Amino acid sequence: MLVSLFVTCLVDQLWSSVGVSTVEVLRRVGCEVQFDERQTCCSQPAFNTGYRDEARKVGRHFIEVFESSKAEAIVTPSGSCAAMVHHLPELFSADERWEKRARAIADRTYELSSFLVRVLRCEDVGASWSGRVTWHDACHGLRDLNIRNEPRNLISKVKGIEFVEMDNADSCCGFGGTFSVKYPEISLAILDQKIEAIERAKVDAVISGDASCLMQIGGRLSRKGSAVKVMHIAELLASQA
Amino acid sequence: MLSNAREEILGSIRKHLAASGPFDAGETNDQVVQSKSHDFEIKKNTESLIELFAESLEAVDGHCVIVNNEQEVIDAVRRILVDLRATRLSPKRMAVSDADEIRYLVESMSSELDEVAKAPSATELFGFDVGLTSVQGAIAETGTLVLEADREQNRLISLVPPVHIAVLDAAKISCTLGETLDALYRDGKVSPAITFISGPSRTADIELTLAIGVHGPQELYVIVKRAC
Amino acid sequence: MNHLSSETFDDNARSALADVQLRGALRNATSLFGKRRLAAAASLQNWEELRSQARSIKDEVLLHLDQYLEQFVANAESRGAKFHWARNAAEANQIICKLIADRGGKKIVKSKSMTTEETHLNVALEAAGMEVVETDLGEYIIQLADETPSHIIVPAIHKTKRQISELFTSELGIPPTDDVDKLTATARATLRDRFAQADVGISGVNFGIAETGTILIVENEGNIRLTTSLPRTHIAVMGIEKVLPRFSDVDVFLKLLPRSGTGQRLTTYQSFITGVKQDEAAEGPNELHVVLLDNGRSRMLAHPITRQSLACIRCGACLNACPVYQQIGGHAYGSVYPGPIGAVITPQLVGLEKTAQLPYASSLCGACREVCPVKIDIPRLLLHLRGEITEAAVNKRRWEQLAFKLWALVMSRARVYRVSAKLGGILQRLLVRDGKIGKLNKSGWLAPPLLAWTSGRDLRPIESKTFRDKWQSELKQRD
């Protein structure tokens, strides 16, 4: 299957290994991966902060870039970005033409784990990684896109892995986009409850499907000098350690 | 001036609803689903209704006694008074409602207590320890008593004294809340004051810790009398 | 009076976060509520169906609110109830004060009503020289402490047993105690007299049933039954959105409300009051006055996104589920209604200008939407309000507006985006140490968001080789 990769601005600049891993995994399961270098951002930061015109400007660019792709699916290693793409039609609800174009894009946009499991029906991607891990349910992926079992199934098939559920895996990490810097104290208070749960789980790594959550969680673990690693599910699935 | 407020508010409602018209088209609303399904099998048989009612009542800290006739009701009330004497709530004065079906209790209990009064006034009620009433219905699935104030003077007797004893005719127990609501809405009218009671009064306002017995009764006894 | 303002939400939140006792109380209460709600919802196999049904009933009512209100009023009036329409809070208070004064009423008992909190009724009554006592235990505690409620269902959720005991000792003279039963018994004993002597009872209304003209009020303590059946005059205050079409609709809402609010199958008492007694000698009040309050509600009907705000049945489930509320509690919002529902209705009731922080005080996690018994899409409402706020430019964030304009310029042009990423990668060298950006001090002023982030978290730097670079150099060839 031909797949067009939407790597996301965050992964592109701050976490390229997630992008590299995503390509690797998709190729391993037999996809041909296309990357349109004109891509930038899904417009989520502006949309979430209430800047709808600015969001539309960037949204139009997104639509134009991906419209030109003949790929059957647009795949992204981010639940929140996939969810944002699904919100694009609503963003253009006052413009029938753009709304239609947005819908056509949204209809073939998938988050990575959900693409692997629901579309390709593949749970074992030939990964191996030794260690004890837990999964953090990123909010948008969980509640907007119903992604809950897919990543857990994928993780369970990784050779050598020991998977444990932490308390309140589905509670927010406190990132929330600009919320994390508008209300940093509240963001940290929420985050520390997540960190406590991670510590109670006594894991080597926390896995999630959103780089933003991983930045939030990883940033705190790093500040606290913790040995616990954060890993994106793409990195885990690409691993053949 | 006040009728202007009515017209203004209704006008404001109409105006704003009209304004939302163009936006409503794009919204998909849930289908109107009439759900009458229940999570358990509906019971029709009186014995199973009694059993379910008792179970539900006990789950909300009410006490249930099941008897077969009036003499057994009298015995049950006596035993309740004995139990209460062992507590702080030592009963001396009982108020009984004006319901015909429990009239026999006024006489039979007068020897047990300092005073048994029929339908005392509201202010007088504050000096009574036990309130005894019948009820107009009950809901088995939740252990709920149904009181209709225009059929019996039970609104305050079931509320003010710290102990409420209710005599319930088993034939009046319906299975579900839904059935009960349908039965209460008769001939296009409902009673002016209907009260549902499910157990003794309670609160969790202090550190979410349960405390039984706040402003309403602290103890609720329901004597279920089977049909003769 | 802890009259915190929503304008200082960020300061309020910081103070709340520093209050160790408050955070402990909130943590225990919200997690307990969460567990109970979950268990209660799971006890019904058709929970999701019920939510959909409830929402569709509410949608039906709201789309025809004028008609259902008129039907409700006509039916209740035919049974002897009297109606008063209040366009705003001040008018509601005026109406109520006049009703009481005209009847020579002096001693008022009141049961819990968030709508009367909204109008600040007690302040108005006291200013008119009337004595009013709150009879719901949580509200009574708050009244003694001269505070406002911090939760829709459990007004004193922020207080520990110790604090309540101290309060009762200083206000009521009882010896200190850790025993919840003793504290409750004290409140009961103190309030009995007030009930016995009251000439007016004021209550709220959970639902107004149009088909029969019935008001339905639910509770656990019994104070509502006492308030609405002992005094000669009963005044019920009701938001105009509280109407339900049919008597049978009560079934769905009685299944959802107690379970969502406290995890109970049913609250201890439900009072269905239809008009007044027919017989003078019968029990119950001689008069029933219902005050219908608009106070900004009718405006919310103008758009489907905002209209759903009016579906709220005030269960409080969203508060318990919200990661923000769980950390800061209700007072920090500086509004009558706190938590997720508060963050969306307060700006609509009060206006965007003074409340512009509230819709931003959310990580948009969606936990509230998941637990709402009437499926209000609070995140969608928050985003809608954020859009309104930036468009009205009331949030006074000039720099932010400019920043996003610049951001949009960069993000809509691939080449500019690539260049700016390279630029960022160079500029950040000022800040990167040991492969990360740690806690900034002086250098932080350059970018407040950066300072805010690094106050508690390290930050990954922009990579010298971005994904695009790697695609170009390594990955692309294999295509």
Domain that holds residue A219: 124-238
Tally of domains within chain A: 2
Domain count, chain C: 2
Task: Name residues 450-479 of chain C within 8 A of A (Cβ).
Answer: 452-453, 455-463, 465-472, 474-476, 478-479
Could you tell me if A99 and A190 lie in one domain?
no
Cα dihedral across residues A163, A168, A171, A174: positive or negative? negative
**In whole angstroms, how far apart are CA C394 and each of A19, C12, C68, C181, C355?**
39, 20, 36, 49, 10
Query: Who among C79, C135, C164 is closest to B206 (CB)?
Result: C164
Tell me the chain A residues in contact with residue C364 when contact means C-beta distances shorter than 8 Å: 48, 139-140, 176-177, 179
Please tell me whether residues C208 and C67 are part of one structural domain: yes
Q: What is the CATH number of domain B43-225?
A: 3.40.50.10420
Q: Which of B137, B129, B134, B133 is nearest to B113 (CA)?
A: B129
Last residue of a domain, one of A84, A118, A152: A118
Q: What is the pLDDT of residues B21-38, one digit of tens each?
A: 888 876 766 555 555 545
Q: Do B208 and C32 touch (CB under 8 A)?
A: yes
ipTM of the predicted structure?
Answer: 0.96
Which DSSP helix (H) or strand (E) runs through A201?
helix A184-201
Q: pTM for this structure?
A: 0.95
- Choose from A183, A212, A216 for mutation: most chain C CBs within 10 A: A183
Portion 294-333 of C in contact with A at CB < 8 A: 323-324, 326-328
Q: Are residues A12 and A112 in the same domain?
A: yes
Would residue C345 count as lying in a domain?
no
Confidence of residue B171 (pLDDT cuts 50, 70, 90): very high
- Cβ–Cβ < 8 Å for C6, C358: yes
Q: Is the dihedral of CA C151, C152, C157, C163 positive or negative?
A: positive
C335 within some domain: no
Tens of pLDDT, residue by residue over C402-460, are 999 999 999 999 999 999 988 888 888 878 888 888 888 765 566 788 889 999 999 99
C457 CB neighbours in chain A (<8 A) are 188, 191, 215-216, 219-220, 222-223
Residue where a domain stops, chosen among A94, A118, A142? A118
The whole-angstrom distance between A31's CA and the closest CA on chain C is 11
Residue C134 maps to which CATH number? 3.40.50.10420
Q: How far apart are CA C8 and CA B140, in angstroms?
A: 51
Domain boundaries, chain B: 43-225
* Terminal alpha carbon distance of chain A: 27
Domain that holds residue C407: 402-478
Burial of A67 (0-12, 13-18, 19+ CB in 10 A): exposed
Per residue in C342-396, pLDDT tens?
A: 999 999 999 999 999 999 999 999 999 999 999 999 999 999 999 999 988 765 7
**What one-character-per-residue DSSP string does A107-125 give?**
TTEEEHHHIIIIIS-----
Question: Do residue A110 and residue A147 come from a single domain?
Answer: no
Q: Would the CA dihedral through A53, A59, A64, A67 be positive or negative?
A: negative
Condensed to tens digits (0 to 9), the pLDDT of residues C186-198 reads 999 999 999 999 9
Positive or negative CA dihedral for C228, C234, C239, C245? positive
Cα C165 from Cα C174, distance rounded (Å): 8
Task: Classify C235 as helix, strand or coil.
Answer: strand
Of A99, A118, A137, the one marking the end of a domain is A118
The contacts of residue A171 (CB under 8 Å, 6+ apart) are A190, A193, A194, A197, C323, C365, C367
With CA atoms as reference, report the closest residue to C174 among C164, C186, C185: C186
Alpha helices (H) along C179-249: 180-197, 223-229
**Residue C120 is assigned to a structural domain of this protein:** yes
**Cα–Cα nearest to B127, from B165, B157, B153:** B157
Query: For the CA atoms of A71, A73, A76, A81, what is the dihedral angle to 10 degrees?
Result: 110
Burial of B44: CB neighbours in 10 Å, binned 0-12, 13-18, 19+: exposed
Task: Tell me how far the alpha carbon of residue C309 is from its chain's centroid.
Answer: 11
Question: Which of B159, B184, B200 comes nearest C225 by C-beta?
Answer: B159
CB pairs under 8 A between A and C: 208
- Is residue A110 located within the same domain as residue A149? no
Which CATH number belongs to the domain containing residue A211 in this structure?
3.40.50
Per-residue pLDDT of chain C (479 residues; tens, 9 = 90+): 458 999 999 999 999 999 999 999 999 999 999 999 999 999 999 999 999 999 999 999 999 999 999 999 999 999 999 999 999 999 999 999 999 999 999 899 999 999 999 999 999 999 999 999 999 999 999 999 999 999 989 999 999 999 999 999 999 999 999 899 999 999 999 999 999 999 999 999 999 999 999 999 999 999 999 999 999 999 999 999 999 999 999 999 999 999 999 999 999 999 999 999 988 889 999 999 999 999 999 999 999 999 999 999 999 999 999 999 999 999 999 999 999 999 999 999 999 999 999 999 999 999 999 999 999 999 999 999 999 999 887 657 788 899 999 999 999 999 999 999 888 888 888 788 888 888 887 655 667 888 899 999 999 999 989 999 999 998 886 54
Contact (CB<8Å) A218/C460: yes
Q: What residue in B sits closest to C44 (Cα-Cα)?
A: B39
